[in-house]
Amino acid sequence: MIKVGIIGATGYAGAEIVRILMQHPQAEVVWYGSRSYVDQKYAEVYRNFFEIIENVCEGDDLTEMAKKVDVIFTATPQGFLAGVLTEEILEQVKIVDLSADYRLKDVAVYEKWYGIEHKSPQFLKEAVYGLCEINRELVKKARLVANPGCYTTCSILTAYPLVKEGLIDPMSLIVDAKSGTSGAGRGAKIPNLFCEVNESIKPYGVATHRHTPEIEEQLGYACGSDVVINFTPHLVPMNRGILATEYATLKPVKRPDGTTGLPTEEMIRAAYKKYYADEYFVRVLPKGSWPETRWVEGSNFVDIGFTIDERTGRVIMCGALDNLVKGAAGQAVQNMNLLFGLPENTGLTMMPVFP
């Protein structure tokens, strides 16, 4: 059995890791780390685990935890792991970090967008960006995995094949995304109160959202050049889910018949098939079908649909996922499976919940 420790086990993402691992046949949570609930029974914090989990919450001492577990999930605010991680810890244990501390390779970009000093930039080079469908082989050999953000996972996977194949101009990419309120975390914030969110939808982080450089960096690797995009997130009154609608200008390419012109629907679909046909968790929908958050809720699936707007010469892509599962905890467990040589979908075959 893989012994697991979780720091931030009482946050939404941490609790989702617990829920998933309770059904994992080869992993056991032995350390429920929480700064706010030390010595309190975990099932008293989350009553859904009543008479299922008897453990009490322990602290967030990474050094002590590393002596007792095989892998640590850090579902913590930005800056926590970077402030405490040492080579001695990494020599003892594998880490999957759900914060942004090691997602961006350029420390100056991290400090600009997150507004804090990076305390351990020496680990940036070796950290692997844990988007499994793209970096699978690198994850398998890693000690430190930077689990991608929820918006970024949806945004990148939706556009990646078309960027990689040169079918769209990545500099023209516009991402319009909506998320449920759990994406903001469990902390009490006035803008996230029921009366503030219900019966409303609002943009936030307009032109400033911290996931922007993450999307740009990863898509830049895909096309081999710098990418600059427009990314605008919105808050919608639901618990879970992200829907990203993305727009990009098609690039003239050589078609199968030898002519030069904009990519056809068949060429776009072939690109998605090339990269995702064998991916268990990515479902490319048939023509005329569109992703909805309700069809991925509670699961590790990503649904993708697209259409070509011939009038404007653009492609419109849509992706949907559960921000707490594929956008956080499920993807973290997917990375753990790769780190320990398990089938990637072990413990993650739960079906979407509806209604």
Block residue for tokens 């990419």: 173
**Spatial distance between the Cα atoms of 301 and 349, rounded to a whole number of angstroms:** 9
**Spatial distance between the Cα atoms of 89 and 81, rounded to a whole number of angstroms:** 11
Block residue for tokens 């993402």: 13
Q: What is the CA radius of gyration of the chain?
A: 20
Q: Which residues are catalytic?
A: 150
What residue type is assigned to position 335 of the chain? N
Strand order in the sheet with 27-33: 27-33, 2-7, 71-74, 94-97, 144-146, 128-129
The encoded tokens of residue 239 equal: 């618990």
Instruction: Give bridge partners of residue 250 from the DSSP assignment.
Output: 168
SS3 79: coil
Spatial CA neighbour of 319 closest among 178, 222, 148:
178
Spatial CA neighbour of 76 closest among 160, 11, 23:
11
SS3 329: helix
Spatial CA neighbour of 296 closest among 308, 307, 285:
285
For 210, list phi and psi in degrees, rounded to 5: -70, -15
**Spatial distance between the Cα atoms of 179 and 323, rounded to a whole number of angstroms:** 8
**Spatial distance between the Cα atoms of 280 and 291, rounded to a whole number of angstroms:** 16
**Spatial distance between the Cα atoms of 219 and 310, rounded to a whole number of angstroms:** 24
H runs (alpha helix) in 30-122: 42-45, 62-66, 80-84, 87-90, 107-114
